[in-house]
Amino acid sequence: MRIIEILIVLVCVAFLLGNANQPMTPRWALLFAVLLAGLLALQLLFEGWRLPFVPIYMVAIAILCTAPLALRAPATAALFASVLGLGLIGIGVLVCLLLPFLELPPPTGNYALGSTVLTLPASTGPEPVVQVWYPIARTPPPQPLADLFERRRQHGWHATPDLDTRRGAPLPAGEKFPVLLYFPGWPGTGLSNLLLIRDLASHGFVVATVIYPSNSNRPMQDYTSDDSMRRSVTANDERATRNAEDGMRILDQLAHLDAQTPPGLLAGHLDLARTGALGYSFGGAVAAELSRLDARIGAAVNIDGRHWATALEHGVQKPYLFIGEPLLLPDAAALASNDPATRYEAALDQVDYRNLAVHLRENGGIQASIAGTTHANFSDGSLSSHWRRLSGGGPIDALRAHRILDAYVLAFFEQTLRGQPSLLLSGPSPEYPEVRLERFRPN
């Protein structure tokens, strides 16, 4: 828990214990109310509110509403209210410990971070929100209270790990940066790899991230029958293609903004001759598909995702990095399981893993497997709790897995888009012994 959260808990507990037998005097009650109101205001400004703390907010608001009145409640009612309040506080503290605030380590590059939101020309279908993360000079202006107030207001007073990102800050004068398009996992309604995105931007990449409105009215797979499963596969192929086409529209808009007259924020700063795509899970399939549809994509990274649409059938014919958990072909028991989810997932894995192996040998590419990981280790969700039952991560340290992922993705784009050869991609690394690296040359 964070410092001001702890202080709020202590004040609430002190009030409830002091009020358990009989109501406080008006003077003491007012003192507690003023102290609690001040702490809540400070938390909104310096820490931001967060969902796991809601039970404690409920207690704090109840105290604020009743304490100034110094209600003369019966002793039994006061005791009941105190016990109820302490119970809610206990629940809130437990949830906060299981789901701590996501503290992102600082990016490792030489640049600070700026961001802006793109407006795309209208089209049919759900319109994605495109946020662009970009490098700015690491000499940020002073951060007076008014500046902090405005940045917190822009984030809805919510606790967010990217508050240090300067919205609308200018890019370094006279510099151009390679462009990356990032696609999140299913259903695409939130960023899955903020840690990676921030790190890439700090190393001089402009990263356009794609988020879709909450419009998915179906699970990714429907296991109820063979026909429903086939329809799911067809729908996933179509969605991967549509999202890749959105990526093409985003590149068109970025090209327009780069050449904009009079110049806007991004004008003259985008090196669209060096463009890549990446994504996590289903977003990795979209990145692979985009690399097939758009000649402007010079390299692609699939972060532990299956392949759909034409990328499943023909593979990726650009420099390609597939990075994820160790892939094991499903056994006969899984393929014949009585559980539909197990059986259908095994069938999908069998096709995807075999095709990936064939296409890497035909087209070339790199496959990196990180021992001790699960699918969750390749998204920020693995950092959401220290308890693996909640985070879904594997036995590897969650932050260690992210550092490995960041290092390999950065090295890949530095090599393929900037022409900077990387020893990390040449073979086994003593720094990252968890990684099994396979390089393939096209036939």
For residue 184, tell me if it sits in a domain. Answer: yes
In the chain, how many H helices and how many E strands?
13, 10
pLDDT at res. 70: 54
Mean pLDDT, to the nearest integer, of 103-132? 86
Residues 234 and 198 grouped into a single domain: yes
**Same-domain pairing of 91 and 116:** no
Average pLDDT over residues 311-328: 96
Q: What is the average pLDDT score of the chain?
A: 90
| pLDDT for position 164 | 82
DSSP string, 38-98: HHHHHHHHHT-B-GGGHHHHHHHHHHHHHGGGT----HHHHHHHHHHHHHHHHHHHHHHHH
> DSSP letter at 106?
P
Residues 101-119 have a mean pLDDT of 90
303 bridge partner residues: 280, 323
Query: Quick check: 24 pLDDT over 80?
Result: no
In this prediction, residue 160 carries a pLDDT of 83
The answer to whether residues 90 and 121 belong to one domain is no
pLDDT of residue 125 exceeding 90: no
Q: Among residues 52, 68, 98, which one ends one of the domains?
A: 98
Same domain? For 127 and 209 the reply is yes
Do β-strands 297-303 and 320-324 pair in parallel, antiparallel, or remain unpaired?
A: parallel
> For the CA atoms of 440, 326, 394, 192, what is the dihedral angle to 10 degrees?
50
Domain final position from 76, 98, 120: 98
> What does the pLDDT read at residue 235?
92
Domain end position, chosen among 98, 130, 152: 98
Q: Is the pLDDT of residue 409 over 80?
A: yes
Q: Residue 38 domain-assigned? A: yes
Confidence band for 181, pLDDT divided at 50, 70 and 90: very high
Identify whether 321 is part of a domain: yes
Match 């590419």 to its residue by tokens. Answer: 365
pLDDT band of 388, cuts 50, 70, 90: confident
Contact between residue 408 and residue 424 where contact means Cβ atoms under 8 Å apart: yes
Residue type, 421: P
Would you say residue 381 lies in a domain? yes
pLDDT bin (cut points 50, 70, 90) of residue 71 is: low
What contacts 378, CB < 8 A, 6 or more positions away?
193, 280, 281, 303, 304, 323, 324, 325, 401, 405
Query: On the CB side of 33, how many CA atoms lie within 13 Å of its CA?
Result: 17
Q: What is the pLDDT of residues 167-176, one digit of tens each?
A: 899 999 999 9
Is residue 104 situated within a structural domain? Answer: no
Mean pLDDT, range 101-118, rounded to an integer: 90
Q: Are residues 70 and 131 in the same domain?
A: no
Q: Quick check: 69 pLDDT over 70?
A: no
Q: Percentage of the chain surpassing pLDDT 70? A: 95
Q: Specify whether 135 is located in the same domain as 183.
A: yes
Same domain for 120 and 261, yes or no, is: yes
Put simply, whether the predicted model's pTM sits higher than 0.85 gets the answer: yes
Total structural domains in the chain? Answer: 2
pLDDT band at 295 (very low <50, low <70, confident <90, very high): very high
Question: Residues 6 or more apart from 229 whose CB is under 8 A from it?
Answer: 221, 222, 223, 344
Is the domain of 222 the same as that of 321?
yes
Query: pLDDT-based confidence at 322, cuts 50/70/90?
Result: very high
Give per-residue burial for 410-431: e unless 16+ CB within 10 Å, then b. Answer: bbbbbbbbeeeeeebbeeebee
What tens digit of pLDDT does each residue of 136-167 get? Answer: 998 765 667 877 888 788 778 888 887 788 88
The per-residue pLDDT for 73 is: 60
The per-residue pLDDT for range 333-375, each reduced to its tens digit, is: 999 999 999 999 999 999 999 999 999 999 999 999 999 999 9
Neighbours of 52 (CB within 10 A): 20
Beta pairing, strands 435-440 & 166-167: unpaired
Domain contains 107:
no
Domain containing 192 equals 112-440
Q: Are residues 177 and 48 in the same domain?
A: no
Mean pLDDT over residues 68-85, rounded? 73
Cβ distance 335 to 347 under 8 Å?
yes
Q: What is the pLDDT of residue 119?
A: 85
Asked if residue 103 belongs to a domain, the reply is no
Q: What whole-number distance in Å separates Cα of residue 443 and Cα of residue 439?
A: 13
